[in-house]
Structures are given as C-alpha cells and as structure tokens.
Amino acid sequence: MLKKAIRWILSCSLVLSTNSAVWAQGEVNQSEIETLKQRVRELEEQNRAILALLNELKVQMANKPVQVAARTDESKDAVKGAKDVTPATVARKEPAQKEARQDDVVRWKELSAGESRLRFYGFLRLDLIADDSRPDNSQIPFFVRSEDSLVGLRDQSDFTLHPRLTRIGIDYFGPNISGLGDAELSGKFEVDFQNGGRESRPIIRIRHAYLKSSWGALSLLAGQTWDIISPLYPTVNNDTLMWNAGNLGDRRGQIRLSYEPKVGAGTVSLVGGIGLTGAIDALDLDNDGVRDGENSAKPNLQARVGVSHPLWNKQTKVSLGVSGHYGWMETVSRLAGRDDFRSQSLSVDYNLALHDRLAIQGEGWFGRNLSDFRGGVGQAINTALGTEIRSRGGWAELAFKLNRYYSIYPGYTIDDPTDRDIPNQGRVKNRAWYVVNRFRPGGPFLVGIDYLRWTTDYKGLERGTDNRVNLYLQYSF
C-alpha cells in the first residue's frame, strides 16, 4: 500500500514537472529543456532507490516478531499523555511506576501501613474424640469421673467432633517510640472458638492480647498471655494441655518485666510480674459476688530465672528454669474461722535438645491453693477445715522425630494432692500415660493421633479410668 502511494506521488510530480516545462516552452531555450530532462532522470533514479529500500524493510519486518504491550490502565494512561512527555521523562518515571505497582499488591498474610506491620497466622482444625469412660468434659477434659456404683458412670463411652480449636492470630510490629527511649513496639492478638455456645455456633475465646515495648534485652509486656511460672507444656491434649493433671500455668491478664541478655553463647532470662488472681477459677468461696482474689486488693506475684545454652552443636541446647508465685485471697464471711488465704508454688522446668531429632522436656512443682494455676486437680480450699489444699506434680515427655513425615511424643503426667487435705469424695490423684503421633504428609498439613490412658483416684469412691483417642486434622497458614 505504501509503495503504491509513493509511486502515485512520484508520477504526479513527473507529470507536473513535464507540463510546467511544456507551458514554459515558449519562454525557455533548448538548454533549459535539457536541464529539466536531467532532473526527471534523477527523480526516476531516486524513485527506484526508494522502492528498493521499501522492499528491504518489508523483508526485515516479516522476519521480526511483533511485541504488543499489555492493555492495562497504566499503559492506556501513558498513551494519552505521550504528547506531553519526552522519552527521557518516560525513562525516569518507569521505575517509580513499577515500584508503585509492586507496593499496591496486597499480600494477605502481611499488611503494612506507614511504620506498622500486621502479620496474620493460624490454622483450620477438626478434632474427633472417643472415650471409653466418661471424662468431666469430652472436649476440654481435666479428670475422669469416678466409675463407682454410687455415681453410676461405669464404662460410659462417648464420641464428639468439633472445629473449636481453629485459630486466628495477628502479630503486630510497630514503630520505635521516641518518647519511651526509642522503644520497639510489638504485640499479639490470638483467638480460637473454645468458649462455649452451641456446637454449630461456638463463641470466640481470647488466647493472647498484649502490647510489648522492648529496649534490646529489656522488655515490658502488658495484656493477656501465658503465666510466667511453668512456661512449658506437653504436646498432648492440645486444648487443656493436661492442666489439673500435672501441667501448671495458664493464660491471664498481667504486667511483666523481662531482662534476657546474651551471656557468652547462651542466654540468661530474668522475668517478674503481677497478674490477676481468680482469672482462671473465678473463686468466690463466700458467694458475695466478688472474686476472692480481687477482694484481697492485691495482684499475684510471679517470677522466673532461667538459662539457655547450646551443647555440642547448634542443633543441641539445654534450657533450665526455676519459677514461683505468691497470691492472696480474702472473703467477707469467715470459713472455718478464716477469711484470708494464700496461694503459692515453686516449679522447675527443663528442655534438653540432645539431637536435631531427639529432645526431652518436662516440669516439676509443688504448692498450695493452686486451682487458679491449674494444680491440685482443680481443688483450692477445704472449706470444712479452712485450709489450703497442698499438691505436687509434674510431667515428662520424650520427643523423637523419626523422619520428615513422622514424629512421636511419649510422656507421663501427674497431679498428686495431699490426701488429708482433700474432703470425702474429692480427687486425690490425677495421672495419664500418653503417646502423641504426628504425621506431616507435606506442606502445612498435619494429621495427629493422640492416645491417653487416663486415671483419676477419689477419696471414698472408685477410681475412673479412660482410654481416650483424639484424631485431628490441621492446616496451618
């Protein structure tokens, strides 16, 4: 098409040139005619050269792939403004526009705004549970009910399934606060759904909700999180974590100060704080409508000293700690002549990572009035005697990673109150042997099968023994 147009233009030019020469024939001489003929020959040579060049360009265009720009909003806007932008300006703008487009991409797992960052995490989970004897609660068990004929619960099996342990969490990373000595701000908010309600409409439960300010090895935390005492927990029974059966410590509102400096190749941990008494058992012995811990007008005190140090390589480490607490309770009405009570404990915890596939961990403790800290098999005060119930216990667990797909965790746990402190038909011992099997077929998918041989002894009643199996499917994100 372009070739035909050029030929037409050149032909018109030749005709006009010839006519002009004819019209001026009467006014020009023979030499001028020869000059015009020479110009016509030169134009014809130029025409042939142009046609040859067009043919060469046509061949090159046929052999080169054509690149078409993607039709995005940015490209259309660039075309609209192309008249007003020089090539140099476009080159300067392109990296900035590319960076802006990358910043506009929403990464659902992590969101940023200014100097603040939110990181989302959690998992979807379904639990299937079977018992051959009746626990106090099939989903959140603390002990096995007596199978005495007076109670009438011998060999009462049950089955349940639920998604209540599905978890959603947000880690918060904030800016440094210049007014607080350039403190680094962080926080956590985590919930699940094990808080009552109908099975198809479970209620949200807050697990963690706190803010934390850090100055290097020093930090201050305010909010709800784990107790300072007894910081470890067994792998089995993922909701109640063998509370009231050997594992001490729960979550509660608190303020804690931590100093955890590096010392050589290891770390020293010094942690102390105050917490709300009655956050777990909500004990109100005199039924005056006020929790006895709050009625004392004092928080409980907690502290822990720990050390962590690598062994013979980076995959092996030993961690040891000693912790304890002291709390107050008061009643308006006297119970067996007393209106004030104390709660206290002393614990040791250890974690020995002997190999990248083998570890041992556990805790041991003793104390009194421990129901608010998940001890004493959930028993705090003998109201008939007016005495705090003393107890001792602990747990131990072996962790063995057989291969990348399978890990096994056998363990034992026990809570053993002092028998003479327990009223008739009370619980005098709570213990369990267990084996946890965890399969990781790939990615964030987990399959778990837990087996527990769980026994609870009673004062004046037959014991209860439960064979409990818990199958769970979990997908983390």
Summarised one tens digit per residue, pLDDT across range 356-381 is 999 999 999 999 999 999 999 999 99
Which distant-in-sequence residues (6+ apart) come within 8 Å of 233 by Cβ? 241, 242, 247, 249
Is the pLDDT at 327 greater than 90, yes or no?
Answer: yes
User: What is the 3-state composition of the chain as percent helix, strand, coil, each rounded to the nearest 5?
Assistant: 20, 45, 30
pLDDT of residue 97: 46
Lowest mean pLDDT among 98-107, 220-229, 388-397: 98-107
Q: Which tokens in the block code for residue 409?
A: 């965790």
**DSSP 8-state symbol, 180:** G
The span from the CA of 334 to the CA of 330, in Å, is 9
Span 75-123, pLDDT tens digits: 333 333 333 333 333 333 344 444 444 455 556 678 887 889 999 999 9
Averaged pLDDT, 279-299: 97
pLDDT of residue 41: 80
Averaged pLDDT, 45-58: 77
The span from the CA of 165 to the CA of 126, in Å, is 7
Give the residue with greater pLDDT, 150 vs 278. 278
pLDDT of residue 50: 82
User: What amino acid is encoded at 3 in this protein?
Assistant: K
SS3 of 232, please?
coil
pLDDT of residue 78: 35
The span from the CA of 257 to the CA of 259, in Å, is 7
**pLDDT over 70 for what percent of the chain?**
83
pLDDT of residue 11: 52
pLDDT of residue 59: 65
Do the beta carbons of residue 115 and residue 175 sit within 8 Å?
A: yes
pLDDT of residue 107: 61
Alpha-carbon distance values, 72 to 6, 69, 75 (Å): 37, 9, 5
The span from the CA of 439 to the CA of 446, in Å, is 6
| Greatest mean pLDDT range, 26-40, 152-166, 386-400 | 386-400
Give the residue with greater pLDDT, 461 vs 69. 461
The span from the CA of 287 to the CA of 143, in Å, is 25
pTM for this entry = 0.76
Mean pLDDT, all residues of the chain: 87
Lowest mean pLDDT among 7-16, 78-87, 149-158, 461-470: 78-87
**DSSP 8-state symbol, 75:** H
Give the residue with greater pLDDT, 103 vs 456. 456
Alpha-carbon distance values, 285 to 276, 332, 339, 452 (Å): 17, 9, 10, 33
The span from the CA of 425 to the CA of 96, in Å, is 76
Give the residue with greater pLDDT, 294 vs 314. 294
* DSSP code string of 45-72: HHHHHHHHHHHHHHHHHHHSPPP-----
Among 343, 347, 377, smallest CA distance to 363 is for 347
The span from the CA of 451 to the CA of 464, in Å, is 16
Among 115, 165, 204, 227, smallest CA distance to 448 is for 165
Averaged pLDDT, 193-202: 95
Among 428, 415, 432, smallest CA distance to 462 is for 428
Among 247, 425, 228, 238, smallest CA distance to 325 is for 228
Which distant-in-sequence residues (6+ apart) come within 8 Å of 455 by Cβ? 144, 429, 430, 431, 432, 463, 464, 465, 466
- Write the Ramachandran bin of 344: left for phi over 0, alpha for psi from -120 to 50, otherwise beta: beta
Give bridge partners of residue 103 from the DSSP assignment.
none
Run of H or E including 363: strand 358-368
Look at the alpha carbons of 177, 183, 184, 190 in this order and tell me if their dihedral is positive or negative: negative
pLDDT-based confidence at residue 43 (cuts at 50, 70, 90): confident
Averaged pLDDT, 224-248: 97
